[in-house]
Amino acid sequence: MRNIVNINKEWKFTKEKETTVVDLPHTWNGIDGQDGGNDYYRGVCTYEKTLKKSDMPEGEEVYLQLDGVNSTGEVFFNGKKLVTHHGGYSTFRVKLDDIQEENTLTVTADNSPNDFVYPQMADFTFYGGIYRDVTLIGVGKKHFDLDYHGAPGIMVTPEIKGADAEVEMQAFGDGDVEFTITDGDTVVATATASGKNPKTSVTINNVHLWNGTKDPFLYTLTAKLIVDGEAVDEISTRFGCRSFKIDANKGFILNGQEYPLRGVSRHQDRPEIGNALLPEHHKEDIELICEMGANTIRLAHYQHNQVFYDLCDEKGLVVWAEIPYISRHLENGVENTKSQMTELICQNYNHPCIVVWGLSNEISMAGSDQKLVDNHNMLNDLVHSLDKTRPTVVAVVTACPPDDPYVHIPDVVSYNHYFGWYGGNVEMYGPWFDNFHKKYPNTPIGISEYGCEALDWHTSEPAQGDYTEEYQAYYHEELIKQIADRPYLWATHVWNMFDFAADARAEGGENGMNHKGLVTFDRKYKKDAFYAYQAWLSDKPMIHICGKRYVDRVEKVTKVTVYSNQDEVELFANGESLGKQKKGKYPFFYFEVPNENSETKLVARAGDLTDESLIKKVETFNENYIMKDEGAVINWFEIDTPTGYFSINDTIGDIMSCFGGKMFLVKFLMFLKKNLSSDGDKEKKEQPKEKKKGKGIEVMGFTFTLGSLKSMAPMLEMVKGFTVKRAFMMMGGKFTKEQILEVNAMLNKVKKPKK
């Protein structure tokens, strides 16, 4: 029988000739990948461990299993190279040959930039390291397949037929196999099969369904490989029996009932440890997501840890699983999309939580062409050949027109929209999706990303781009209203459940981070928007007063928002009732609160539920609530704004609306190219000739080349709602105050069109 030994402890880690001893999981970018500057170490590091034969698991053969090495891993055993694996988020294995009394195991991890392993261009940090478990598996000569794409060696496919389920079972190996399905200690069904990768079916009468968060029931399938009447290997997997379909008008349907999917996306990283998570971190994440009331998670933008998929199975959370085919099509990366998709499906096929396989994310960011379309057709066919039970999906960037051919390759589609943050306004969501639904009535449509950033900044007059907790709360209130009124949206996923690291970012007063999370990076603080979703989605009675971090207020009457899923809310100020409000269509309650005392204690009450907060009257606005920009800080009074002419305070969309503005844009691009190129002159002298690359504009980790206006089109469309000042800020501090004011002077010569 197989024996498994974890070997996470005491590895010699070498980075740039410096060696330390570390335990796995481990990343070398836990600090420099989170502090901004887009300068975190990307290269090759080495992990080495001495293994005595006596420490090896018993077995005639021993396999090494690595659950995550980012991005390319190479394995050497006693100096001999055994395998190279391209793809930093999936499991791979290799058999260890010629085992000696004492052996040296060496694993290199390489997260260097290249043009053939995804991801290469994305708004998150690509942490290097061996950041998941490493184990040794001892087996006999006869064993279930350990070489099949890192898969578990067993596959189960339930099909609901009335009150029963027909369950197809397949084991990967060669010989006689005994299958047993159990419900706890109770045997539900048994069967046998023989041959190469044997397959058989059984029926579960009166099947207990896996029914989402209501009842996520799981069975266990065990397979035993029998040789001469003895079991020589045994593997098992949990599975759930459910039916689902995605309807263009009714949305997601689970077990015959409409089941709107409303939830979040999740990045996995944490402060200082990056993506090197322990099981307790995954458990904390899942508990927070369930506390909010979500019933679905988009696991972006890569394969996540098996621990997390298992937790989603147990909690009944419906999952969108995807590969990191993201932002830009790489001609040399086609095979990598194929191998990563194959591993994603083969390793995760048995999870009932997964309902769609994601082909790509915002892949047309740098433009769409026939090669991109061809790759999607290939991936779509591959998925359907590997899994006939689940549909395919893509997450499409706003700038991509709905009639782009690649949008209609998968079975269902969702869009990443940031109206009200990266351009436009929050009222645009509903009409946009209504227009798509009207034009393509047979195509299921959803929202794969939407959100805005919030830190500990505050205001009573929230506005787009201010990074305040109040604007984020307002934004999500408005989105909840529009989503709730459109049941045809098959799934909606907030971007993001947690703040996460994106080392290229310089936004919101804290570099290196994306702050769109409903919960802070350290999981310690739930922003007000978290409670807006809890009030909308959770069945557990709740009440929450917003603005607890916004204590000092200057106005004599201030607005206070309360979220609750109860029918009636009453708010008290220093013990005096400000009235009761009945819940309307949405679970948001707005009160006008007198703010004339030095301190006002607020108490919100809904039945037996209460929540408290405090506000204080101040004469001068608290400067600690105002975002502090690093780098080129420009005060409002330094910006010339002559009447009738543009300035950097105007949006790119407004500037582009007239001929003079379009001419300015050409000059602006030339200005950017000149200044970015001058920064690169020194680099060109220092770098070997073959390493010279064209310069570009980097925004949120995405680099856009300046070779043509066409290549800039997707970015320009995305940022039309930005002021020029904000666009500069999002370029990561590459420009001085004087350079930005030079652009302002250029704009001061462009007349605004008459209204």
Q: Is 478 annotated as catalytic?
A: no
Q: Are strands 11-15 and 69-70 parallel, antiparallel or unpaired?
A: unpaired
Torsion sign over Cα 669, 670, 674, 675: negative
Q: How many CA atoms are closer than 13 Å to the CA of 56, on its beta-carbon side?
A: 24
Q: What is the tally of helices (H) and strands (E) in the chain?
A: 12, 44
For residues 34 and 125, is the Cβ–Cβ distance under 8 A? Answer: yes
Q: Where are the beta strands (DSSP E) in 410-556?
A: 412-416, 445-449, 491-494, 500-507, 510-514, 543-545, 552-553
Measured between alpha carbons, how far is 239 from 671 in angstroms, rounded to an integer? 58
Angle between helices 306-315 and 334-348 (to 10 degrees): 50
**Cα–Cα distance measured from residue 450 to residue 264, given in angstroms and rounded to the nearest whole number:** 10
In the set 362, 453, 469, 507, the catalytic residue is 362
How many other C-beta atoms lie within 10 A of the C-beta of residue 94?
Answer: 18
Residue 240 amino acid letter: G
State the SS3 of 371-389.
Answer: HHHHHHHHHHHHHHHHCCC
Locate 42 and state its tokens. 């990307």
Gap between the Cα atoms of 508 and 408, Å rounded? 36
- Buried b / exposed e across 630-649, counting CB within 10 Å, b at 16+? eebebeeeebeeeeeebbbe
Kindly state the tokens that stand for 91. 């499991």
- Contacts for 246 with CB less than 8 Å, ≥ 6 apart: 252, 253, 356, 391, 411, 412, 444, 490
Q: Could you write out the three-class secondary structure of 317-364?
A: CEEEEECCCECCCCHHHHHHHHHHHHHHHHHHCCCCCEEEEEEEECCC
Contact 259, 247 (CB under 8 A): no
Q: Which helix H or strand E contains 392, and what residues bound it?
A: strand 392-397
What is the DSSP secondary structure assignment for residue 461, as one 8-state letter?
S
Residue 331 has φ and ψ, to the nearest 5°, of: -60, -35
User: Which residues are designated catalytic?
Assistant: 362
